[in-house]
Structure 1
Amino acid sequence: MRLTKAICLQRCVALPFSLLFCVAALFGSHTAWAQTIEFNSTGGTTTTNGLHFYIDRSSKMQVRRANNTGQVYNPNSTPTSSLTSLDNGVFIRANNLLYGPTHTVTTFNPTGGMYSSYSITAASPANPSTPGVQQTATNSLGITNGPQVSIIWKYTTPLDFLTAEVTLTIPAGFAVSASNPVRYYHVFDTYLGGSDSGCGVNVAGSKRIVGTYSSLGNPTPCPVSTSLPTAGTIVESFRERTPPSAGPGVIAVNSFSSYCAAGWSTFFVNGSPYCSMLQLTTPTSSTGAMSQTITTTLQDTGIGIAYDFTAPGTYVFSYDFVIGSTAVPPYDHLEIRHDGSINLCPENLQVLACLSSTVPCPAGSELNSGTLTGAIALSPAASGVTFTPSTFSIGGSSSTSGSTANIILQATAASAGTYNLIPTGLSDTPLNGTRCVVNGVAQSNCQLTITNTPCVSNFECMETGASYNNPVTATNRNPLYTKLANRGFRFDVVALQTGGAIANTYAGNVVVELFDSNAAPSCSAATAITSQNLSFVAADNGRKTLGSDLLLADAYKKLGCRVRTTSGPAVTACSSDQFTVRPQSFSTISSNANADSIGASVSATPIVLAGNDFSLFADTGVKGYDGLPKLAPNLIDWPNVPSVTNGGRAAPGVGSLTGNFSVAANPTTGNGASGASFKYDETGYFRLLAQAVYDDTFVANSGSADSTNNDCTNDSSNTLVGGKYGCKFANISSSNHFGRFIPHHFKITTSASTLTEACPSATGFTYFGQDGFSTNFSITAENSSGNKTQNYTSTFAKLNTTVYSNYQFTIVGAPAGASLTAGTPAPSGSWLAGMVNVTAKHQISRPSAISNETLIALMAAPTDGEVPAASATSIASTRQRYGRLKLQSAYGSEMLDLPVPFIAEYRNSNIWLKNVDDNCTPVVAPVDGLGAIFYSPETATNHLSAGETNASVSATGKFLNGDGKLKFSKPGSGNSGYLDLDINVPDWLKFPWRGGVTPINPTAKVQFGTYKKSNQIIYTREIH
C-alpha cells in the first residue's frame, strides 16, 4: 500500500514528529533529509555476487537479489526513492511510547514519533572488489533523555545475510521496570523473492530462527512450521546470534524475548494475533511484547522480534537478517599472518580460519573441523613470485597442516613493490572476510611490501633450544644465559633477513666473537676477547650451534656477541641480549682468627673475645670479579664440645655470627673481599658451611639483566637446569674452623641466700679465725654483649672451680691484721652451658688487736688466665665477731647439782657482751681422766669420791643462747673436794686469761662441801 497525500497530511496534523517525513512525501524531496548507505553496491544481480543492501539512517532497508527486485515490500522501492513504501525498521518502546520510522499502514503511527536523533555512517570499505571482504556501517538511534541505540551493520560478500550488532544503553534514572520495560523491536514486511504470500516457521535450538518462506505450491495449511524447508523456496528470517549481555534488566537471556511470523499488518495494529508493537502485553503473555504466533496459513506475511529490558544499563546483543540459506559460515574470518615486508629471502605466511571475531585469533579458536581449502595470491599479480605450497587445506582430519597452514612466499628482484595478500578459491566464504596480522598486531589492510634486498642482513646469538622471536620485546627475547668462568659453553647463531625473519636458506662463513660491553664504545669497535669460525649451509635452515666450546677464565659482568661475515656481502651484527660470566664459587675463606682444621683445640692462638670484632676474607681467584659477598649467618657449624657428666653443651647449634663484608674484591685478582666487623658470640670455634658466603649481586647488578630476565635460576647452582646456572654463587664446601674464641668476661651473680655464716642464727655471724662462713654464687661466661657463651664448658672452660685462688677473693672493711684464707673443704662447682654455681668456704683470721663486731665485704674477680679479669664484685658481707669462751668458778653442797658458768662472749662497743646469738659452738664435755678436767692435786683425799657423777652438758651439745649449760651432778653426802677446770676450746675462742698476748683455754675451780669466804652457809633448807 502507498500513502496518499491526504493520508500524509492527516498524519502530519496528528503527529508533529512526522511532519518532516510528511513534507518529504508530499514534495518528493527526500534527499533533503534522507541519508542512505549501500552494501555491495554493484552486486545482487547474479546468483553468486550476494545481496545488495540499502539502509537509511532511520533503519529502513531494502534488499535486492539476482532478479534485481526487492526482497522486502515494496519490491520496486528503495530508501533513496521512497521511505514510506517500505514497512520495516527498528523501533524502541520507552516509557509507554513507541519511537521509530514512518510506515504506510494508515492506522499506525509511532506514538512517540520519529527518533530524537538518528544517523548512519558510510559503508566501509566503500565497495569490495573481491569476495570475503566485510563492509560495516554504524547506525545511531536516540531518544532524548532516554534509551540510545548503536547498530553496527555488517555484510560480507557474497553471503546471504546481514548482521546487526546492537548496543542498547538505558540511562540511570530512566523509568523502566518489569511492568514498564524498554523494548527493542525489528519488523519486516516480507516479499519472498517475488511473492507476498508465505508460511511461518519457528526453528528452536541454540540459535532460534523466526521467519517465513514462500508457499511451495500454495498449499493450505502450510507444510511445515518447526523446521526449515529443504529446497524450493527462499526463507526470509531473523536468526539469533549472541544473546544480550547479562544484567539485571535482561528478561530473556538466551533467546528473543518474543516474536511473531504472521500477517504483515499485525505488527502495526493491536488485536489478534497480538503481534503489534503498540501493545504492552498480550492476552497470552504478561511479559512478552509479541504472542509467539507462527502462521500456518498461507497469507501476506511479515516477521518481527523483540528484546525486553527492565533496568538501566548497557546491553550488547546481535542477530542476523537472512534472505536465502539459514546456514552460518563455519568460521568468522580468514587470518593471514606475516611480518609486513620481505626481502629476497623466503617469507613464511601463516593462514588459519578463526572461529572468533577477535584479531589476532585467540589460541584455541582456530577452525579444527571440516576442511577449508584455497590459495593465497598477491593483488596485483607480482612477477616471478611463488607460493609453496600453491594451495592450502586446513581445519579437518584430512588437512596436512592442522589448524594452521604455513606457506612460503618467495620473491624475486623483479617483484619489488607493494601488494595486497588475498585468498582465492575458498571452499567456504568467511563470515567476516579476511584479516591480516603483522608481527602480532591486527591490521586494517593486508598490504605486503617486497624489497629488492639481499637475503641476510643481520645475525642473532641466542641459547640453543630457545625459540627465536622477532621482533625482540621485553617478553619475547632471544636470550643468552649466564655462564661460568672456566666452564665451556655454546650457543646458536641465527642468520636473519632484513625484517628479522630467519634466512632459512642462508649459506656462508662467519666469525663469532665475544666482547666486553662495559669496555666497548660500540659493538663494531669492540675488541674481541674470544672468537670462533662458523660455516652455514642451506641444510642448517639459518640456525647453527657453535662447533666447539668457548671457555673464559675470567669473569665478565656484561658480554655481547658479535657476528661478522667472512664470505659474501659484509655484514656485522650484534646480539640483542648480553650475558654475565660469573665465578663458580668462593674458593677460599680465611680470617685473622686462627683457622684450625681440627676445631677442638683448647690452646690455639690467637684468641678472640666473644662478641669482639674479627675479620673474614673471601677469594674467588677469578679475575674480573669485583663483588661484595654476603654472609648467610644461619649456615655456620660448631665443633662438638666434649661431653661432661652433666650433659655437655646446653643445646646443639649454639652460636651466632654477625657482620658484613665491606670491602669488595680486587678485580685484578678476584680476591680480597673482606669485612673487619664480624662478631661471633660464642666460645670455641665455628666453621662456615657450604653456601654461607655468597654473592647475589654480581649478576643482578651487572647490567646484563640476566637476573630480571630469568636468564639464570634463583640459586647458586653450578648445574644446568633448563640450560641455566644460578644467578648467585657461594663457597661450595665447608671452611676450616675459625677461632679460638674465649669469653669476653665473667659475670658473678648472687642472691639473698648467697652467704651462710658459721653460726647461722637469727643474727648470723662468724668468729674471727673460725673456719668458716661459706658463699654460694654463680659465674657466667659472657660475650661482649653480656650474653652467656654456652660453649664455655668442659675442656673449653679453663676456669678450674676447685682452686680457691682462681677466684681472687678479697675482703673490704676488715680490722688491721685480719686476713682472708680458704676454708675447708675446697670450692666446688661444674660448668654447664657457660655457667657454674660455686660453693666456697672462707675464714678471716683474728685481727692484730681485740676488735668490735665488724661487717666485712667479700669480693671476687675470677680469672682463667685468658679471659681478662674484671673489677672485683661483691659476693657477700659477713658479720665477724671477736669471741671468747669464759669459764667461772663454782662452789656448792655435795648434796646438790652444781652449775658452772660457761658462756660465749664477743667484743662490741668496746665491751664484752654475752653472745646470745651463739647456738652453734660445740660444748666440750669434761671427762675425768681424759685431759679435759684437771684435778689439782689429785689424791685420795681431795678428789671426788667414786660415787661422783661426771659433768654433763646441755642436750644439744652446743651453746644455747651463748650459755654452755655446764654443770656437775651432786656427789652425795660426805663427798667433798675441789678440782681445777681447764677446758679445751677452739683457737678462735681462746683468750689471754692470765695476761700477756697468748690466748689460752678458759679455767675455773669447782668445789663441793665448802662455802664461799663471803658466805659461811654451805647448805640451807626450809621446812614448811
Structure 2
Amino acid sequence: MSHQSHAQTTIEFNSNGGTSATNGLHFYIDRSTKIQVRRLNNTGQVYSPTALPQTNPNNLDNGVFIRANGLLYGPSHTVSTFNPSGGMFSSYSISAATPANPSSSGVQQTANNLLGITGGPQATIVWKYTTPLDFLTAEVTLTIPAGYSVSASNPVRYYHVFDTYLGGSDSGCGVLVSGSNRIVGTYSSLGGANPCPNSDALPSAGTIVESFRERAAPSSPSGGVARNTFSSYCAAGWRTFFTNGAPDCSVSQLTQQFSTTGAMSNTITKTLQDTGIGIAYDFIAPGTYTFSYDFVIGSTVVPDYDHIEIRHDGSATLCPETLKVLACTSSTVPCPDLNIVNSGNLTGAISLAPTATGVSYTPTSFSLGSANTQQDIVLQAAAASAGTYTLFASGLSKLPLNGTRCVVGGVAQASCQITIANTPCASKFECMETGLSYNNPITATNRNPLYSKLANVGFRFDVLALQTSGTVVNSYTGSVAVELMEENGSPVCNVPVAIASQNLTFTAGDNGRKTLTADFNLPDAYKKLRCRVKENVATAPVTACSSDTFTVRPQSFTSIVSNANADNAGTSVSATPMIAAGNNFTLTVNTGTKGYDGLPKINAGLLQWLSAPPVLSGGKAPPGTGVLSGSFSLAANVTNGNGASGTAFQYGEVGYFRFLQNGIYDDTFIANSNSADVVNGDCIASSFANIADASSNPLLKGRFGCNIGNPAVSNHFGRFIPHHFTISANTLQEACPAPLPNTTFSYFGQDGFVTNFKLTAENISNLPTRNYSASFVKFNVSNYASYNFSMSGAPVGSVLAVSSTTPTGSWFGGEATISVKHQISRPTALENQTSIGILAAPSDGEVMASVPFTIATSTQRYGRMRLQNAYGSEMLDLPVPYFAEYRNNNLWLKNTDDSCSAIVAPNVGSGVIFYPDSATNHLIAGETVASVSATGKLVAGDAKLKFSKPGLGNDGHLDLDIPVSPWLKFPWRGGLTPINPAAKLKFGSYKKSNQFIYLREVH
C-alpha cells in the first residue's frame, strides 16, 4: 500500500490558554489523530506528558484506529514495537483551527480531520473545542462504501484509545457511569486506595478524571444497526490497548482470541494501576454513519444547553447593526423554537475577535432565560472598525456545550464572521421633488418639498440617504423600500400598512441621491401622504419618513347629474320634467375617485343661460344669468367614487342653465388636508391645472393646480318655468266714463269695460324671471282663458263674459302689459247699481294658476233707454223725451252720468211711419228730426231728441221704435224679452188733460 509522508501537520486549540484553572485546556492535534492536552503547569495530561505531536509523536500512546476487513489502520506506535497490521491510514490530513487564537470564553474552535483507507472506509472527524470547557468533542462521519466486505462476523470497527496521565499521577481507577450519555474513564488515586473505592460512579471531588463520554449514538442507515451507546469499551492497564491478551482491550485483537468480532472486553479496572481508556463503535453493513463523543479531562458535567446563537446579516456599516442573541438546547442551527432556552438566567456579552477599535454594544450585556428568550444587541462600529471579525459570546455565566453558533440571513454558517465596512451611516432618509436643491437644515422656509399629486397620474421623486447631521451620505449603497404612508393623525413613521411601495437600489454613482426608477400611480385620493424609506436588510434597518407631506387630489369632477333634466339632446322649450323656478332640485357631482371627501362649490359667475337674455325697455339688460342657490354635502367617499349631493338647489330663472368650465369647483380639499400644500405653494393657488406648470420658473416643475373643477362645459339642466305670475300696475277703464271723478260706470251686458295690468313671471322668491321671453313664453296673451278671470259681488244670473275684442299685450324680459275688455251679463232680476270685483289667476298651461288677485272693481248699472209719448202743435218743433235710466234703490233714475252711450236719430223718411188723421190733412213729405244731441251721444243721460214742426194743417202722429244697444233694451211690453224703446208722437192734437188742442194768440 502507499502511505503519505510522515511530515507532521499539527493544529492547536486554545493556543493562548491551558495554563490556569480558568482558561481551559490547550490541545495539540496531529493529522494522524495523536493528541496532547495541557493545563495549569503547562505539562501534558496524556502520556507522555512532555511529548508533542509535532516533535515526538511516537511518545504519545493514543489515537484513532479503524479495523477494516481484518486489518487495523492507524498511527504507528513505539509500545512493544506495536504497529497497525494495515499500516498508517492511506490518506490523512487536518485543517487549521478556526477561529485561531480565541481570546475569551465561549469561543468554539473547529478543525476537520480526514482519514481514508483505499477502497475502504473513509472517516471525517470534526474536532471541536470551546474554551474554557473540560472536553474535546469529536463529531465523526464514517462512510463504508457499497460492496465493501463487512458483516456481523467481519465488522468495520472505529477505535479511540488514550494512555492517561491524570494530571501527574499515572495510576488510576476505572469507572463506568451508565445513562443517556455513557461515561467510560479513569480517575487518579484518592490517597492510594487499593482496590479502587467505586467503579460505577464518578468521584465528587479531589481528583483528576479522564474519560470518554458518549454524545450522539451512531445513525442507522438502511441495512445498518443502530446502537444507543459505545459498542465496546475498556478502562484498564495502558499497555493492554496495544498488546493482545488479557483483559482483551487491544485495538489489534485477533478474532480467534476473543469472540467472533474481537471487540473490547468492556473491562473496568478496580485495581489502582497505570491506566488507559478506549472505546469502539462496530458497523456491520455499508453506509454512512454519524456519531459523536467527548474526550473529557477534568469535570464530566455536561452543560445544560448546547450553544449561544447569534443571528445577523453578515455585514455592518457605520450604522447601528442589530444582533439577535439566544441560547439553544439543541445542536441544530438555526435553533428550533422549542429548543430556545426560556428558563433561568444566562448572562454574557457579545465580542469580536480580534478586538475591534471603537465598537460599542447596546446594551453592553445580555440576559437570557425566563425574562427574555431572545435579546437584541445593537453593534455600533466606528471608522477604525473596518475589517472582518469573528463574533462570539463572552463572559458567559454558564458555558455551552458547543460554544457560539451563527445564523446569517436565516442560514447556519460554518463561522461567525461579520464584515464591517467603513461606510458612513445613513441614519435617516429624505424624499423630495426631483430637480430641487436639497436644504439642510430643514426649516419652515428651508424646505424639501413634495408637491401635490393627481390620482391616476404617475409621479416620481428623489430619495436621499442622510447622516444624523442631515448631510447626504454620498457613498451610500444598498437597497431600500420606498413606501407611501397615509397619515391620519400626528406624524407617524411606523404605520403598519403602506399605500404603495417600490424598491430602490443605491449604487456608488448615485452619490446618496436617486430618483425613483418607476412611477407611483395612485388610483385613489389621499389628503395627507408621507414618504417612508426603509432599508432592505434583515436586522436593524434604518427607517425614516420625509420631512414634507403631500396631497393626492382627483383630477376633476367627472360627472354632474340632476333630477332636473340634463337633456343635451335638444334643450327643447317643451321638454319635461318641468321645475318651477325656485323649487328644490338635486345636483350630484362625482370625481369617480375613492378617497375624495371634499365639499364642492358653485361659481355663480360661470353659469350660462341657454340663450342670451333679452334687452329690457330703456336699453337695460337683465342679469346675465339666474341665481342658483343651494350647497353640496361632503362627498360620500364610497369605494366606487365620491358623489357629493345637494337636494335643495334652487334656480331662480326660466329655461336651462349649464356650468361653464370649472363652474363647479373645490378649492379646499387640499387646503383642509393638513398637508400644508396650499400654504407652502406645493400646488398652484386658484388654479385647476392638471398639467405641471414650469412656464414661469423651472423650479415649479411638477406642480399642479390646487383646485378641482369640471374640465368642460356641462350638459344643460332644466327645463325651469316660472313659479307663478303676479299682477301689478292695474287700472280700470269703465265702459262709460263721466267727466267727473268717481262717476264712471258700466252697464250690465255692456261690451265693455277694460282692465289694464302688468303681468310678471316670477320665481318662488317673488323675483322676476327675466328669461321668460320669446320661445320660453307659453302664455297666450290673446286668449281670454289664459287669465282665469273671475268676479266677486256679482248678482244672481250675471256672468263674466268674453268680449268681442281680443286681449292685447306682449312679453318681454319676463313682463307683459295687458289690456283686456270685459262684459258682465245682466242679472236674472232687476238689479240696483253694484260694485263687482274682477279677479285674475293667470296661467300659461304649465305654471300653476296663481292665487286669484283682484285687478279692478267695476260699477255696474242695470240700464235702459226710455222713450216717452209727445204731443204738440204742428206749428212748433216737438221735443220728445228720450233718455237713459238705471235702477237704484229699487227706483228707476235718470242716468245723468251717461254721456257716452251712442244714440241713433230716427229717420222719418225711412224708419218712421206717419199716420194722417184725415184724407186731406197730412204731414208734408220729408218730415225730419229737428235735432238730437250734437255729440251723437247722450248728454247727461238725455238724447235731446226733437222733431221739426210739420206746418199748419198737418196733423197726425208718428209711432217711434228706436234701436238701442242690447244692454239698454228693456221688456217694455212685459215678459222677459228686452226690446227697443217705443213711443207715439201727436201733432195738432190736444192732451187729454186739456180742453183744447192749441190756443194761438194773434197779436
Normalised to the residue count of structure 1, the TM-score between the two structures is 0.54
Give the whole-Å Cα distance in 1 for the aligned partners of 2:780 and 2:770. Answer: 17
SS of 1:634's equivalent in the other structure is helix
Q: Which residue of 2 aligns with 1:459?
A: 429
C-alpha distance in 2, partners of 1:560/1:663?
24
Are 1:799 and 2:779 matched, yes or no? yes
**Aligned position for 2:951:** 972
| Partner Cα distance (2:619, 2:921) in 1 | 71
Contact map agreement 1:819 1:844 (CA 8 A) in 2: yes
- Asked if residue 867 in structure 1 is aligned to residue 839 in structure 2, the reply is no
Pairing of 1:672-711 with structure 2 (within 5 A):
672-711=643-682
Partner of 2:373: none
Where do residues 403-552 of structure 1 align in structure 2 (5 Å cutoff)? 413=383, 454-518=424-488, 522-552=492-522
Match among 990, 1002, 1011 for residue 990 of structure 2: 1011
**What is the alpha-carbon distance in structure 2 between the residues aligned to residue 600 and residue 955 of structure 1?**
62
Equivalence for 1:46 = none
Q: Residue 577 of structure 1 aligns to a residue in which SS?
A: strand
CA deviation map 1:756-799 (0-9, x unaligned)? 33444431111111111111012211111111111112222212
Give the whole-Å Cα distance in 2 for the aligned partners of 1:657 and 1:742: 14
Residue 789 (structure 1) aligned to one of 748, 762, 769: 769
Deviation readout 1:292-346 (Å, 9 max, x if unpaired) = xxxxxxxxxxxxxxxxxxxxxxxxxxxxxxxxxxxxxxxxxxxxxxxxxxx989x
Instruction: Determine if the alignment matches structure 1 residue 847 to structure 2 residue 827.
Output: yes
2:564 and 2:800 map into 1 onto residues whose CA distance is 41
**C-alpha deviations, 1:680-725, integer Å up to 9, x for none?**
1111111112112212222122222212222111122212121211
CA distance in 2, matches of 1:538, 1:975: 148
Shift in CA distance, 936/525, structure 1 to aligned 2, threshold 3 Å = same
What are the residue-to-residue correspondences of 1:880-919 with 2, within 5 Å?
A: 880-919=860-899
Change (3 A) 1:525 1:812: closer
Amino acid at match of 2:787: Y
| Structure 1 residues without counterparts, runs of 5 or longer | 1-342, 346-382, 384-410, 417-450
Could you tell me which amino acid in structure 2 is paired with residue 653 of structure 1? G
Seen in structure 2, the aligned counterparts of structure 1 residues 989 and 685 have a Cα distance that, compared at 3 Å, is same
CA distance in 1, matches of 2:655, 2:922: 75
Alignment check: 8 A CA contact 1:743 1:783 kept? yes
Q: Is residue 838 of structure 1 aligned with residue 809 of structure 2?
A: no
Structure 1 residue 564 displacement after superposition: 2.8
- Taking a change above 3 Å as real, the CA distance of residues 782 and 938 of structure 1, as seen in their structure-2 partners, is farther
Residue 937 of structure 1 and its aligned partner are, at CA, apart by 6.8
- Taking the aligned partners of 1:561 and 1:584, their CA distance within structure 2 comes to 21
Q: Deviations over 1:321-380 (max 9, x none)?
A: xxxxxxxxxxxxxxxxxxxxxx989xxxxxxxxxxxxxxxxxxxxxxxxxxxxxxxxxxx
Deviation at 1:917? Answer: 0.5
Match of 1:948 among 919, 927, 939: 927
Q: Alpha-carbon deviation of 1:940?
A: 7.2
Alignment map for 1:457-856 (pairs within 5 Å): 457-518=427-488, 522-566=492-536, 570-598=541-569, 600-640=571-611, 651=622, 653-715=624-686, 716-721=688-693, 722-723=700-701, 724-751=703-730, 753-762=731-740, 763-856=743-836
Cα–Cα, structure 1 residues 938 and 842, in superposed 2: closer, same or farther, change >3 Å? farther
Indicate the SS of the match to 2:785. Answer: helix
For 1:30, the equivalent position in structure 2 comes to: none
CA contact (8 A) 2:830 2:862 kept: yes
Using the alignment, how far apart are the partners of 2:963 and 2:737 within structure 1?
20
Match of 1:37 in 2: none
The Cα shift of 1:543 comes to 1.9
Query: Structure 1 residues 804, 758: CA separation in 2 closer, same or farther (over 3 Å shift)?
Result: farther
SS of 1:531's equivalent in the other structure is strand
Counterpart amino acid of 1:866?
E
Q: CA 1:909–1:589 in structure 2 vs 1: closer, same or farther (change >3 Å)?
A: same
Query: Residue 657 of structure 1: CA displacement?
Result: 0.5
Q: How much does 1:610 deviate?
A: 1.1
Cα drift, residue 559 of structure 1: 1.4
* Matched residue count: 583
| 1:565–1:591 distance in 2 versus 1, CA, 3 Å | same
1:921 aligns with 2:893: no
Q: Which amino acid aligns with 1:738?
A: F
Instruction: Mark the CA change 1:938 to 1:710 in structure 2 (over 3 Å): closer, same or farther.
Output: farther
CA RMSD in angstroms comes to 3.1
User: Does residue 1:935 correspond to 2:914, yes or no?
Assistant: yes
SS of the residue aligned with 1:679?
A: strand
TM-score by length of 2: 0.55
Distance of aligned partners of 1:530 and 1:520 in 2 relative to their CA distance in 1, 3 Å threshold: farther
> What SS does the corresponding residue of 2:931 show, helix, strand or coil?
coil
Runs of 5+ in structure 2 lacking a partner? 1-316, 320-356, 358-380, 387-420, 694-699
Check conservation: 2:595, 2:638, Cα contact below 8 A: yes
- Looking at structure 1, the residues matched to 978 and 999 of structure 2 have their Cα atoms a distance apart, in angstroms, of 40
Identity across aligned pairs (percent)? 60
Residues 647-656 or 819-828, more deviating: 647-656
After the TM superposition, which residues 62-101 of structure 1 pair with which residues of structure 2 at under 5 Å, given as runs? none
Change (3 A) 1:898 1:531: same
Give the conservation status (yes or no) of the 8 Å contact 1:650–1:790.
no
Of residues 976, 980, 986, the one that matches 1:1001 is 980
Question: How many angstroms apart in 2 are the aligned matches of 1:597 and 1:862?
Answer: 31
The 3-state SS of whatever aligns with 1:754 is strand
Following superposition, the deviation at residue 809 of structure 1 comes to 1.1
Cα offset, 1:936, TM superposition: 4.0
Is the 8 Å Cα contact of residues 917 and 956 (structure 2) preserved in structure 1?
no
- What is the CA distance between 1:734 and its match in structure 2? 1.7
Letter in 2 for 1:860: A
Equivalent-residue separation in structure 1 for 2:440 and 2:555 (angstroms): 33
Q: 1:991 & 1:826 partners in 2: Cα distance?
A: 28
Deviations 1:619-649 (A, max 9, x none): 1111111222122222211101697998999
Task: Quote the Cα distance in structure 2 between the aligned partners of 1:808 and 1:758.
Answer: 25
Q: Does 1:986 align with 2:986?
A: no
Q: CA deviation at 1:942?
A: 6.1
In 1, distance between residues paired with 2:977 and 2:626? 60
Give me the whole-angstrom Cα distance separating, in 1, the residues matched to 2:786 and 2:935.
39
Which amino acid in 2 is paired with 1:734? V
1-structure distance, mates of 2:877, 2:959: 17
1:921 Cα offset (Å): 1.0
Displacement of 1:588: 0.4
Larger Rg: 2
Contact 2:664 2:709 in 1 (8 A): yes
